[in-house]
Every structure is written in C-alpha cells, then in structure tokens.
C-alpha cells in the first residue's frame, strides 16, 4: 500500500473523523453495554497501547474490540512487513466501518470469547500481542473469565496482553474484580495512566501467564 492509500485509510481528516465519531456513537447507542463508551479513545491512548506491538519478525497481533479503529492505525504503523493484524469486533456498525476504513486489518465479526476457534479458522494458534479495549469492568465474572481464558490459551509465552479501563471504573466492583483476575492470571501486571483522554484511561500491561511461566 502506498503512503497515499495509507492516509486515505487513516481517519485524520475532519470529515473522516466526524464519520468515525458518528459510527461509534450510533453503535454505542444501539449496544451500550457492549461498547461501554460514547466516543473512541484518543491518539494519546493509541500511542501508549502501540508500544507492546513487536517491530521485528513476523508477529501476529490480535485486537479485541477495535471499534472504529482508533487504536488500530498506531498498531499498524509499528508492525513490520509480513505481520498480521487481526481484529475481533462484535458490533455490526463497527465491523462495516473497519472493513471500509481499515482494509489492511483482518476484521473478524465475532465474540472475543470465541477467539481461539476464530483464530484457528484463520490458521493462527498463537499471537504475540493482544490489545483489548472491550469494556472489561462492565462484564460479569463468567464473561471476564471466559474471555481471559481464551486470551491465555492463544498468547505466546513471551507475548503481552493489554487491557484498557477508565480510571474512574477501577474502583467499581467489575473493575476491582478484573484487576484481581489479572493478578491471578499473569506474573507481571503493570499499570499506566493516559490523562490525555476524556475520561482518563488506565492501561494494564500483562505478561507471563502464571500457568506456563517460563523458567
Ligand atoms: C470501549 S469500545 C473501544 C473501541 C476502540 N478500540 C477505541 O479504543 O476507541 C469497546 C469495543 O469493544 C467491542 N466489544 C465489546 N465486547 C466485545 C466482545 N465480546 N467481542 C468483540 N468485541 C467486543 C465493542 O463493540 C466496541 O467496539
């Protein structure tokens, strides 16, 4: 893809950005619990998230809940040639938007809780990074467990898993439950805050699932 085509697929111009916001908002009104936000996340969040994306080799990066793709361009910019970027998205409007505006991403219309069979259909059994922005703190306990179990099954031993929540959701019962689950699941759980987002975002960056810690 040429630089020009790349810019055409990156929602930086105002009309494209407006279209992105409209799609996101419509999707959020129709599916409030699934989307869990009124607007896409900011470029500052995308820049932080992209840091876990491998820049060498032929990595496979999995995005859970890409929405209208506000994190996706930053992921793509770091990926080396030969990498795969797969996005699993539940909501129809978001899937249609991504297929039109992010043709370089392998967009799968499905549930993150089925990620292992969805990846297997595409010949993938291991991923190097999972970037998730599904509304974890709104999920009930069985759904948090179900999706996280699938992540652990697919994550390469040295891979990284990231999740986003609003800072304000950290102390909710769902937010506390999620953090506890992460600490029980991974050997390393780092947190970072992006203040340049409304509302501010808490990032979890997790490595080494405890049931198969290396060495
Ligand atoms: C808070 S939005 C984040 C969207 C985008 N990544 C961003 O940062 O602006 C959450 C997204 O996750 C999607 N989602 C929620 N539950 C999902 C699930 N179980 N599987 C796949 N996508 C899901 C929603 O449809 C929505 O697009």
The closest-lying atom of ligand 1 relative to the alpha carbon of residue 27 is 25
Banded pLDDT at 195 (limits 50, 70, 90): very high
* Residue 11 confidence (pLDDT): 47
The closest-lying atom of ligand 1 relative to the alpha carbon of residue 45 is 8
Instruction: Report the number of distinct structural domains present in the chain.
Output: 1
- The range of the structural domain enclosing residue 28 comes to 3-212
CA 162 from chain centre, in angstroms, equals 7
**Which position has the higher pLDDT, 200 or 5?**
200
CA 51 from chain centre, in angstroms, equals 13
214 CA distance to ligand 1 centroid (A)?
31
41 secondary structure, DSSP code:
P
Which strand (E) or helix (H) includes residue 18?
A: helix 14-30
The closest-lying atom of ligand 1 relative to the alpha carbon of residue 72 is 6
* Residue 14 confidence (pLDDT): 82
Q: What is the mean pLDDT of the chain?
A: 91
Mean pLDDT to the nearest integer, 99-111: 97
**pTM of the entire structure?**
0.92
Mutating to test ligand 1, I would choose from 90, 109, 137 the residue with most ligand atoms within 8 A of its C-beta, which is 90
Question: What does the pLDDT look like over 202-211, one tens digit per residue?
Answer: 999 999 999 7
Question: What does the pLDDT look like over 29-79, one tens digit per residue?
Answer: 898 888 888 889 999 999 999 999 999 999 999 999 999 999 999 999 999
* Ligand 1 binding site (Cβ under 6 Å of any ligand atom): 34-37, 40-41, 64-67, 70-71, 88-91, 94, 111-113, 133-135
C-beta separation of 87 from 66 below 8 A: yes
Q: 70 phi and psi, to 5 degrees? A: -70, -25
86 CA distance to ligand 1 centroid (A)?
14
Mean pLDDT to the nearest integer, 181-194: 97
67 CA distance to ligand 1 centroid (A)?
5
Q: Whose CA is nearest to atom 11 of ligand 1?
A: 65
* Residue 212 confidence (pLDDT): 53
CATH number where 108 lies: 3.40.50.150
Cis peptide before 28, with omega less than 30 degrees from 0?
no
* Residue 163 confidence (pLDDT): 98
56 secondary structure, DSSP code:
S
For residue 2, pLDDT beyond 60: no
31 CA distance to ligand 1 centroid (A)?
10
Burial code of 89-102, b = ≥16 C-beta within 10 A, e = fewer? bbbebbbebbeebb
* Residue 12 confidence (pLDDT): 63
Q: Whose CA is nearest to atom 6 of ligand 1?
A: 66
215 CA distance to ligand 1 centroid (A)?
34
Question: What does the pLDDT look like over 109-166, one tens digit per residue?
Answer: 999 999 999 999 999 999 999 999 999 999 999 999 999 999 999 999 999 999 999 9
* Residue 16 confidence (pLDDT): 80
């Amino acid at each position: 893809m040429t630089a020009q085509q790349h810019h055409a697929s990156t929602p930086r111009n105002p009309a494209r950005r407006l279209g992105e916001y409209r799609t996101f908002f419509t999707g959020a009104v129709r599916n409030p619990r699934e989307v869990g936000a009124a607007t896409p996340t900011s470029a500052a969040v995308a820049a932080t998230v992209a840091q876990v994306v491998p820049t060498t080799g032929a990595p496979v990066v999995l995005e859970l809940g890409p929405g209208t793709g506000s994190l996706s361009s930053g992921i793509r910019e770091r990926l080396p040639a030969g990498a795969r970027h797969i996005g699993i998205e539940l909501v129809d409007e978001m899937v249609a938007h991504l297929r039109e505006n992010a043709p370089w991403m392998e967009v799968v219309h499905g549930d993150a809780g089925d990620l292992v069979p969805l990846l297997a259909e595409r010949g993938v059994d291991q991923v190097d990074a999972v970037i998730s922005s599904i509304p974890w703190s709104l999920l009930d306990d069985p759904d948090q467990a179900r999706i996280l179990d699938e992540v652990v099954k697919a994550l390469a031993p040295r891979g990284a898993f990231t999740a986003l929540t609003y800072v304000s959701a950290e102390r909710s019962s769902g937010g506390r439950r999620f953090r506890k689950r992460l600490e029980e699941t991974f050997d390393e759980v780092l947190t970072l805050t992006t203040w340049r987002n409304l509302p501010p975002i808490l990032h979890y960056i997790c490595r080494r699932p405890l049931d198969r810690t290396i060495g």
